[in-house]
Structure 1
Amino acid sequence: MDSTLVLIAAVVLLALSFDFINGFHDTANAIATSISTKALTPRAAIVLASTMNLVGALTFTGVAKTIGGKIADPMKLEHGLPIVIAALVAAIIWNLITWYYGIPSSSSHALIGALTGSVIASAGLSAVNFAGFLTILQALILSPVLAFCIGYIIMSILRFVFRSANPRSTNRMFRFLQILTAAFQAFSHGTNDAQKSMGIITFALIAGGLQNTHDIPFWVKLTCAIAMALGTSVGGWKIIKTVGTQIIKLKPISGFASDVTSASVIIGATIIGQPVSTTHVISSAIMGVGSAKRLSCVKWCTAQRMITAWLITLPITATLAGLVYLIASILF
């Protein structure tokens, strides 16, 4: 029991560290548009995002239950706690690498890929619930496509409605509206991303025999919410620069369109209990909004670099987690 408690404590510490890193890694995406259009100052955007992330993280639990039980059954894994530790270590390493180079890669892909890889390394392919894994993968793939299409449609409608409006008054109005959409964006991020760490901790509690249901304890919700809010307060300026300036040249109206699009897709996924990548959704929404004006507005070289990172994250983190698990099993 003593060793089990030590391992669970390690999982909690790593999960909260992952949440903290996620706060400045992925939340940077949520506030990048409002900062780049000068709707909010960086300080105001971070305070707003931290607050709304905290509120959002405490509101839903469906995604946490999906992460905690759909990839593998923690009650059937002999080495459940080391599996989770290896997954978290791999996901954290990948998040820090992509943050350092300013690449808006997906924390969701990193965590899901890493957990799958460590399960395979420990118990083989048969231990993975591929039906549940494919459901999660489907949501991760479809959500950015949906965000691109909706962003294109919303921006096309806005361009038609405001085609004859005074540019100065239009910019002033949409800068104000972006304050509201930035809050909505940060709230939606909290409802989905913070739950991933909640699910991982619950997975560990079940694997360690401390609970036998997928219900999320309140202390888990609260600590994960606080960790993400604290991470958000640190900020992620490299990611903000990439998302806010290197995909398209954002104006208040296009920033508003991309915020509404991505927040709606993320909150919709949360309601049905599916984890999605806020990075993918926000970046795809911005691409869709830019394409509504003309395809040349989108800096496709940056988009290509992002898509490459998206494609390699799952296999790299799965391999990395498997290696971490195997090395740890040899050493300990």
Structure 2
Amino acid sequence: MDTAALIIVLVIVLALFFDFTNGFHDTANAMATPIATGALKPRVAVLLAASLNLVGAFLSTEVSQTISHGIIQEDQISSTLFPELIFAGLIGAITWNMLTWLLGLPSSSSHALFGGLIGATIVGVGVAAIDFSVVLSKVVLPAVIAPFTAGLIAFAVTRLAYAVTRRYDSKPDGRDGFRWGQIFSSSLVALAHGTNDAQKTMGIITLALITAGWQNADDAEPQTWVIFACALTIALGTYMGGWRIIRTLGKGLTDIKPAQGFSAETSTAATILASTAFGFALSTTQVASGSVIGSGLGRRGSTVRWGTAGRIGIGWLLTLPASGAVGAFAALFVVWWGTWGVLADAVLALAIILLIFRRSRINRVTASNAMSEVADSGAAVKVTRNPPPTRRQRAEARSGQGKDEQ
């Protein structure tokens, strides 16, 4: 195997590992709420999410084509240098994913990938190789608009859910019947995650194959083996659970009642599926957080802690530049030393992954202890324990008091 082919193989392996981290990093977006409310047991929840991620990966390739023929202008980059820069960009994305996983912070795997690729390309070639119009229209704007859209939908659905069940639910504050609805809605989120996030890795591998001449440049469709490999890898990562992120989102969401959880998950799934159809590369983390806040606003007696929401927003803003900086640093080795730089990056990336994994073993988080801490994203919604009584409740109370006096 010659050097160029070896680099392509390394890119594919690293891309699949990123896909794996994406799976366990973003599981919480679909399953933290049903786990927290008791609608699903932890192991059952992640197995269901893994299965639906697998199915979802086969349903669409629009996002894949945005990655493989969109953000990076391949004609601006030497075909021998391009795979090496993809490799450096993946290191930036994986490093950020692993670090935020260790800290239990919900962040965007998608934006980590885009940031790593952009940073590496700018250092390796220059700004001219980035198609900023595509970055703006299919990455940045959806990142800004989608959480607000999801929040508005969740707000409306929550209002509707409480209005419809007001007279028929014996527990108006809990709406325990929505636990069954959560199984459906969380499954829909997992399916939507597969349709969007798995496509990003397919796009990266397709891009590498095109630059190596192993695939026709006019054909942006991922090859069948690429679809299978990415689908299986993200499903395996999902099954591993990502318990640190689930702990962060799930415990914080225990104050969110089943009706709100159902509304938030339905909104998240609808937003992601609609965006996938247009080829928008969304962050499921941002969409899910927007839905949570919207569902909280939709329930009487709840308020939003905007300070906490602001801290979450700062975390989102850091993802692109932080992963971009690591990708740019990795690209420096490629520029300086060529093939030897790739090997240096590979050794450095392996050392970082092993170091973070070893550090995670000191304070292990599993299915049995995942619900032990409160998350910023869940704490963004504060639910009043005793919401003010409605007009109907006050009238019934006065009526009951009158009967007692008689």
Q: 1:149 aligns with which of 148, 152, 166?
A: 152
Give the conservation status (yes or no) of the 8 Å contact 1:248–1:290. Answer: no
Larger C-alpha radius of gyration, 1 or 2? 2
How far apart are 1:148 and its partner, in Å?
A: 1.2
Residues 179 and 48 of structure 1: is their aligned pair in 2 closer, same or farther, counting only changes over 3 Å?
same
| One-letter amino acid of the structure 2 residue matched with residue 36 of structure 1 | A
Are positions 1:74 and 2:80 aligned together? no
Q: 2:163 aligns with which of 144, 160, 163?
A: 160
How far apart are 1:18 and its partner, in Å?
A: 0.5
How far apart are 1:166 and its partner, in Å?
A: 2.0
Give the conservation status (yes or no) of the 8 Å contact 2:52–2:191. Answer: yes
Task: For 1:74-153, list aligned pairs within 5 A.
Answer: 74-78=74-78, 79-136=81-138, 137-153=140-156
SS state at 1:71 partner:
coil
Give the conservation status (yes or no) of the 8 Å contact 1:120–1:127. Answer: yes
Give me the whole-angstrom Cα distance separating, in 1, the residues matched to 2:319 and 2:74. Answer: 24
| One-letter amino acid of the structure 2 residue matched with residue 208 of structure 1 | A
Give me the whole-angstrom Cα distance separating, in 1, the residues matched to 2:9 and 2:303. Answer: 49
TM-score (norm 1): 0.95
| CA deviation string 1:280-303 (max 9, x = no partner) | 001110111011125854454543
How far apart are 1:208 and its partner, in Å?
A: 1.4
Q: 2:278 aligns with which of 267, 272, 275?
A: 272
Give me the whole-angstrom Cα distance separating, in 1, the residues matched to 2:331 and 2:76. Answer: 18
Paired residue for 1:57? 57
| CA deviation string 1:95-144 (max 9, x = no partner) | 01111111100001101111111111111111111111111211122111
Give me the whole-angstrom Cα distance separating, in 2, the residues matched to 1:259 and 1:2. Answer: 48
Are positions 1:246 and 2:252 aligned together? yes
Residues 111 and 326 of structure 1: is their aligned pair in 2 closer, same or farther, counting only changes over 3 Å?
same
Paired residue for 2:182? 178
How far apart are 1:86 and its partner, in Å?
A: 0.6
Are positions 1:258 and 2:259 aligned together? no
Give the conservation status (yes or no) of the 8 Å contact 1:24–1:231. Answer: yes
Give me the whole-angstrom Cα distance separating, in 2, the residues matched to 1:116 and 1:82. Answer: 13
Give me the whole-angstrom Cα distance separating, in 2, the residues matched to 1:48 and 1:6. Answer: 36
Give the conservation status (yes or no) of the 8 Å contact 1:188–1:267. Answer: yes
Residues 240 and 301 of structure 1: is their aligned pair in 2 closer, same or farther, counting only changes over 3 Å?
farther
Are positions 1:324 and 2:322 aligned together? no
Give me the whole-angstrom Cα distance separating, in 1, the residues matched to 2:183 and 2:171. Answer: 17
Give the conservation status (yes or no) of the 8 Å contact 1:20–1:232. Answer: yes
Q: What residue ranges of structure 1 are gaps of 5+ in the alignment?
A: none
Are positions 1:18 and 2:18 aligned together? yes
How far apart are 1:278 and its partner, in Å?
A: 0.3
Number of residue-to-residue matches in the alignment: 332
SS state at 1:293 partner:
coil
How far apart are 1:29 and its partner, in Å?
A: 1.6
Q: 1:190 aligns with which of 188, 194, 200?
A: 194
Give the conservation status (yes or no) of the 8 Å contact 1:249–1:297. Answer: no
| One-letter amino acid of the structure 2 residue matched with residue 130 of structure 1 | F
Give me the whole-angstrom Cα distance separating, in 2, the residues matched to 1:53 and 1:68. Answer: 21
| CA deviation string 1:189-239 (max 9, x = no partner) | 000000000001011111112112211101111000000000011001221
TM-score (norm 2): 0.78
Higher mean C-alpha displacement, 242-251 vs 4-13: 242-251
Paired residue for 1:39? 39
How far apart are 1:48 and its partner, in Å?
A: 0.6
Give me the whole-angstrom Cα distance separating, in 2, the residues matched to 1:258 and 1:246. Answer: 14
Give me the whole-angstrom Cα distance separating, in 2, the residues matched to 1:167 and 1:300. Answer: 32
How far apart are 1:160 and its partner, in Å?
A: 1.7
| One-letter amino acid of the structure 2 residue matched with residue 180 of structure 1 | F
